[in-house]
Amino acid sequence: MGATKNAKHSLSGSGNLIIEFDEDKIHCKQYSWHFAPAYLLFWVGLFFAVIYPLFQALPSGIRISEEADKPGQFVAERAQQILLKISQMGPRVVGDVNNEVTVVNLLLDEIEKVRQVLRDDVYNMEVEVQRASGSYLIKGLTNHYQGVQNVIVRLSTKSSNSTSYLLVNSHYDTKPGSPGAGDDAAMVVVMLEVLRLVAISGDPFPHPIIFLFNGAEEQPMQGSHGFITQHRWAANCKALLNLDSAGAGGRDLLFQGGPNHPWLMEHYRNSAPHPFATTTAEEMFEAGIIPSDTDFRIFRDFGVVPGLDMAGVYNGFVYHTKFDRYTVISRDSLQNSGDNLLALVRSISSADEMYDTEAYAAGHAVFFDFIGLFFIHYQESTSLALNLSFSFGAIFLVCLSLWRMSRVTGQTIGTYAGVFGLLFLLALAGVLLAVAFPLLMATFYDWGNRTLTYYSNSWLVIGLYICPSVIGLVLPMTLYLTHKKCNKIPHTYYMHIVGHANCVLLAILCLVATALKYRSAYLFLISLIFYVAALIINLLTRLHCRGYLWSLVLIVFQIIPFIYHAYLFHMFILILIPMTGRFGVSSNPDLLIGALCAFGTILAFSFAAPLINVFRRPSCMLGGLALVMFIFSMITVSDVGFPYRPKTNVMRADFMQVHRKFFEYNGSISREDSGYYFHLGDRNIEAPLRDHMNLTNLVRLGEDCDSELMCGIPCYRFCGARKDALWLAREELVELPYPTVLELISKTVLSGGYQVRYEFRLTGPPNMGLFFKPLDGVKLLRWTFASAMLDNPATYRPPLVVMLTFGIDNTPVEFFVELSKDNGNFDEPVFEMGVSGHYVSPHDKRDALSLEFLATLPDFAFSMEWPSSYERHIL
């Protein structure tokens, strides 16, 4: 530059801009490598000091003895007492006495207690038990039900003339074998306490409130369908608060809203004292990543009712198992849910928007909480403006900074543009490696049959996926900066340009996500906002001309985005790790967990991690991370890496004890046998069970099972995965509690001679299935059930599945099918029909051999099991 050391340089910029710098400060040395570990530990400490405690934070549960001092507040202890009564009933499956009589009577008793303290001078309260029957298409099967029950309460102010109701829903039925304390009795008792508090408050509210205690959600979602399509109050329901669970205890996550009703988010922001929400969860749910569903779908699709869908998401390991008990639900978690629901009920039941909700339909909303402290939401149109403004603004400021650095050092703008281009490519390579390294780890573990090693010890993902992701993120930059030859640009400017390259990369990703209409683009926006803020300060103060002082500003401004992104992805990892135990056997769940860790690392560390290069010997830090990764890998091959633990982190090994009969066209039985039909929950399939159970002759049904109707098994909801199912034959026939009987009432050839009508009567357990497969040249035209499958033959190809459910009404099902045949010959086989019966009630006895086999199940596994029958008929 032709100046003596320590000289001051004045360079004229555009206009009156005069830039001064000290060459010594620009060329100052990197910090000692001793400080690098402290720098990385700072971020680790931030996670454990701030993020982890706030994620676990819950309000203290209020006791009944404190009620007088805290009037109008949710009393968790009262809800907890009712929860104990419900969970002590055990499983409550549709059609069983526990679900249809015992829990219904308990709910009516508790509602009667509310009536006794009701401010009847202010409110009217109506109570009824609905019995609904219906049929609809959902998840690739036709769902047909009769006599399912809902307990419904309408609470309204006497002076109200509003015809717009707020609907609050949760369900009291459970999966077979589960007491369902978390899913969903906890939300039921929260609703009861909220009903009580509103009923005794004396505060008028203009819009009536419907409390729907739903008796058939797990079937799936028959109770909500029965209410929203048949009940006289359904048409008046203009907003929904749906309460469900994918775990037990903890906070309830708002993961679906609207759709197209952002005013609901405004009420959530203004009223919910414990916000916990994210748009990203909504988009993941809509993408099918979450292996669950809720009644929200039914109210949205069949009733067009906008709402908020909230669910408990903590401790999903006990979800749908016998360990979902009263003891896993803390009083504090009930307080959290109760505080939120009570505030939302009070707010929305008094909302002006309820008079005409369609007038406030204004597109999707972007929403999220910041570590539980406050809630942010804005409309999709605002999101578009913000994303575009900050993305292009960030690119402009990067260009301005590069121009300024070129003016300060006397190098051409082309030199800096070239360096920026190279570093941008290295930043892109770093992002790709940050994703690739965890995915490679996931793939290697899958090849080595070590899938789900983190299942019981989630901290293992730190070494297995997060460390490799950090290494990949900074490796290209570190290698280049360590071995670069060019000295025209000071190292501190190189580091500054590294941040610029990551900034532009995130801006491009934000623009792409926005163009694809992903509202989760806000994740990139958060990172951009705080980098832009730091960049503006550094430009105005010229700290980038004073050694590495600018990096301190950058670090300070990265604390907020790091906290948010680490908090968010910590949440997703804790939610999804338990769910990997029920992702099925066909996909590698480690890929999803690895990808989550990678995306969280990229968003949290894009700007912070490359700063290890301000310290000397950055390769030592990469070596340290690699050592951590190696140590964790060694831990995973020990007993610590065994996925399952008794009671807390169980393997899901669901199976049925099946009695099969194959009837030929002439009515004779060609085969009668029995065996165990396994539907295993995760990638490890049966391998962990082999040391404990006799599975010598276990076979996978596989592709060749299409030779038999439905592979010859009584699949139950998960029929799409039947080719991955396992079959273990047994010599003795399974003894069924009572028979499932199909009777052909009549066969009538219709006028014209090319169509035939069959009429049947079916009796059996409360859960049964029908499978229809027309033979060549035959079409299924009409049947008793919902017609959606038959109306869309290109989408729904045989075999067609109908699931039947009885609630309180167990009268035989009478149904017909009408078919056409090209040649009009109905004196030969026309179609195959399968009939299954599922004896899921806890009161249905298992035979001695089945109980003996079940006793060999290891203590780290849970089985949702029951006897079932399967009959194949050719008609």
From residue 859, alpha-carbon distances to 645, 681, 848 in Å are 8, 16, 20
pLDDT tens for 682-700 read 999 999 999 999 999 999 9
Sign of CA dihedral 322, 684, 771, 708: negative
Query: What is the DSSP track for 183-244?
Result: IIIHHHHHHHHHHHHHHHH----SS-EEEEEES-STTTSHHHHHHHHH-TTGGGEEEEEEEE
pLDDT tens for 269-303 read 999 999 999 999 999 988 888 888 899 999 999 99
Low-confidence ranges of the chain (pLDDT < 50): 1-21
Cβ-proximal residues to 851 (8 Å cutoff; 6+ apart), any chain = none
Cβ-proximal residues to 293 (8 Å cutoff; 6+ apart), any chain = 139, 220, 221
Q: Rounded to an integer, what distance in angstroms lies between the CA atom of residue 444 and that of residue 437?
A: 11
Measure CA of the first residue to CA of the last residue in the chain; give whole Å: 95
CATH 3.10.50.30 for domain 64-358, yes or no, is: no
**Phi and psi angles of residue 617, each rounded to the nearest 5 degrees, phi first:** 55, 50
From residue 506, alpha-carbon distances to 356, 510, 521, 604 in Å are 41, 6, 10, 12
From residue 35, alpha-carbon distances to 292, 508, 543, 822 in Å are 46, 33, 21, 83
The pair of structure tokens assigned to 418 is: 């070239």
User: Helices marked H in 241-379 — which ranges?
Assistant: 263-271, 279-286, 296-302, 331-348
Write down the pLDDT at residue 11.
37
Write down the pLDDT at residue 326.
95
Write down the pLDDT at residue 26.
55
Write down the pLDDT at residue 527.
96
The pair of structure tokens assigned to 96 is: 């069983």
Query: In a 10 Å sphere around its CB, with 0-12 CB exposed, 13-18 middle and 19+ buried, how is residue 836 labelled?
Result: buried
Write down the pLDDT at residue 616.
87
Q: Rounded to an integer, what distance in angstroms lies between the CA atom of residue 388 and that of residue 376?
A: 19
Query: What is the DSSP track for 346-364?
Result: HHHTT-GGGGGGGGG----
Task: Using alpha carbons, select from 561, 560, 537 the residue that is nearest to residue 550.
Answer: 537
Q: Rounded to an integer, what distance in angstroms lies between the CA atom of residue 317 and that of residue 862?
A: 11
- The β-bridge partners of 773 are 832
Write down the pLDDT at residue 28.
58
Sign of CA dihedral 598, 633, 577, 272: negative
Write down the pLDDT at residue 15.
39
- The β-bridge partners of 867 are 657
Write down the pLDDT at residue 489.
85
Write down the pLDDT at residue 17.
38
- The β-bridge partners of 150 are 130, 214
Domain ranges within the chain, ordered by starting residue? 64-358, 381-641, 651-874
Write down the pLDDT at residue 35.
83
